[in-house]
Structure 1
Amino acid sequence: MNRFFVLEAVLQNKSFTKAAEQLGYTQSSVSQMMASLEKEFNMHILKRSRSGVELTPDGEKLYPFIRQTLKQYRSLLDTAESINGLQSGTIRIGAITSVSCYWLPQLFKEFKTKFPKINFILNQGDYGTILEWLKNDQIDFAIMTAEFGTGFNKTLIHKTSMNAFLPKNHPLAELDQIPIEKLADDPFILVEGGGYSEPLEAFKQAGLTPDVRYIIQDDYTIMAMVEAGLGISILSELVFERTDFKVVSKPIVPDVTRPVAIVYKNKEELPIASQYFVDFIVDHKEELY
């Protein structure tokens, strides 16, 4: 069964090295386990590509059965845990940058004071990547925008503001609030949303088209680029809280917001530990800032 878990981690990370780091193995151990799995099934399951490690055509046919086996095995463990009480378990979460950085560490810490033997696997990505993880059962649930992801169940926990991020010497930096039309002409640095973008939706609602020059996945890289004068951006207000970049963050008129939700297929089918943690987050949602 361990080899199936390792295969899942390799595919999720698209890397033997990152999978080893996530699971606490050496890279050679991961390679050996994958080689052993391929030998057992007498086929090549994995291949290397420009985007990283991925399934071969034979692996694509085999993996759904492995994924179902893992799901059933986790259900078996959950049943044992529910009988014995929540003494152990692993919670697998997919989250956007602002949530993983500013909310989850404290929530993890508080939850582990009650359930110290619970472990967390946190995967950070854009909306599209996170939804793929959910569809493929690589995570138990996600914390992301409620505006994207048809067909999933969602529990709203917070609404964060999306602010304009500008260099300190920008002419608009002195304003208390920035009309969205004033952001359409500057070179714009767009955060990669993986299929959905709050800034682009806000511009669309205002009948505007921004001058997108860069599309970047990492919020902190974007702030560094804004500081360098390469453009302006719209990001979650949360990412400004713990940064020393020489940028300013100002509210936008009309408001641009991100409704943040817990997203999952079916709460009743989540692992027991994940059900507990979802309830824990909901109970503490008033403390999120």
Structure 2
Amino acid sequence: MTLFSYEIFDAVARQGSFNKAAQQLHLTPSAISHAIAVMEAELGFTLFNRGKNGVTMTSYGASLYPSIRAVLNSDEALQQSIARLNGLEKGKVKLGAFNSVCAGLLPQILKSFMASYPQIEVEVYQGTYDDVKEWLRTGQVDLAFLSATCREEFNLTELFREPLLCIVPQDWPEPPNGIMTPELMNGQSFVVQCDATDAEMRQFLKKYSISTERRCHVIDDQSNIAMVEAGLGISIMPRMLLRSCTAAVKIYPIEPEEDRVVGLAVQRPTAMAPAVEQMFHHIVDFCRQMDPQLL
């Protein structure tokens, strides 16, 4: 099998479709289908399940995917090293991030990075904590923004801390001194997100043994805020998500203060490609020098 075969496999795995993979690689769908069939014949087993709604990896394909990504990442690193020796700053960086970072911080980071390194292509993948962790494990992304709740799984470089705030409906009684405490939250109805996006809230509730009635289980941040606005419960969210909030809700600090810690993880810490290393240092420097008002 050739390196291009691996690129075809990767495109099909990412796109979940022969047609979309063909568009990405500027080939015909029949050429993609033929290339996968040749790979399967050579390997002796099926790599993809074909269906009306697209294709999915078989268990065999999924087990090979991390190794195929490693080969492609190594080739990208080699090409970037060659470019650097020729005095060129070029390459590709795949970056994974969760919603609040994508909306509140990443645009400024990418703008400043691309101004300094216009020849480096950046691909952004947005998802839940679990999505981003899986992309990092399998090599689909080179760098990933992650919460410190993932610290046991990855070597994180801390970027910043931001306080957790309590968001309540507009008609909620004013708490003493304008501060929410675990005692005031105990027994209240909560709007919560899925485990993959709401690790900090769950950690906070567990730490202070806060008993809750969980009425709404939502996926995204804006739905969370909308449910609170409708009076369906209260919630705990990082400040970055609420910085530009215009909903009819009240936002209060929490005591004892709790922070969300956000860090940057690398897919291959000891073998970063030149472009990945440039992006890594740019993000770290940007976050450590940024205006706290961005958080």
* Superposition TM-score, scaled by structure 1 size: 0.85
- Which of 253, 264, 267 lines up with 2:266 in the alignment? 264
Runs of 5+ unmatched residues, structure 2 = none
**1:78-115 deviations in whole A, cap 9, x for unaligned?**
22232134532111111111111111111101111111
**How many percent identity over aligned positions?**
25
Residue-pair matches, total:
285
- Taking only aligned residues, the RMSD between alpha carbons, in angstroms, comes to 3.1
CA contact (8 A) 1:189 1:212 kept: yes
Match of 1:232? Answer: 234
Which moved further from structure 2: 101-110 or 227-236?
Answer: 227-236
- Which of 67, 70, 73 lines up with 2:72 in the alignment? 70
**1:109-145 deviations in whole A, cap 9, x for unaligned?**
1111111122211112222221111111111111121
- Which of 121, 124, 128 lines up with 1:122 in the alignment? 124
Match of 2:38? Answer: 40
Deviation at 1:269, TM superposition (A): 1.3
Q: 1:278 to 1:237 in 2, by over 3 A?
A: same
Match of 1:287? Answer: 290
Which moved further from structure 2: 26-35 or 239-248?
Answer: 26-35
Runs of 5+ unmatched residues, structure 1 = none
Match of 1:274? Answer: 276
Task: Find the residue that maps to 2:149 and give its secondary structure.
Answer: coil
CA contact (8 A) 2:8 2:35 kept: no
**Radius of gyration: which is bigger?**
2
Deviation at 1:181, TM superposition (A): 2.5
CA contact (8 A) 1:268 1:275 kept: no
In 1, Cα distance between equivalents of 2:73 and 2:206: 41
Match of 1:16? Answer: 17
In 2, Cα distance between equivalents of 1:30 and 1:235: 46
In 2, Cα distance between equivalents of 1:188 and 1:182: 12
In 2, Cα distance between equivalents of 1:93 and 1:26: 18
**Matching residue's letter, 1:98:** S
Deviation at 1:264, TM superposition (A): 1.9
Structure 1 residues 1-289: aligned runs within 5 Å: 1=3, 4-5=6-7, 7-12=9-14, 15-16=16-17, 20=20, 25=23, 31-32=29-30, 34-41=32-39, 42=41, 44-47=46-49, 53-172=55-174, 176-194=178-196, 197-285=199-287, 286-287=289-290, 289=294
CA contact (8 A) 1:153 1:263 kept: yes
In 2, Cα distance between equivalents of 1:225 and 1:31: 44
In 1, Cα distance between equivalents of 2:28 and 2:250: 45
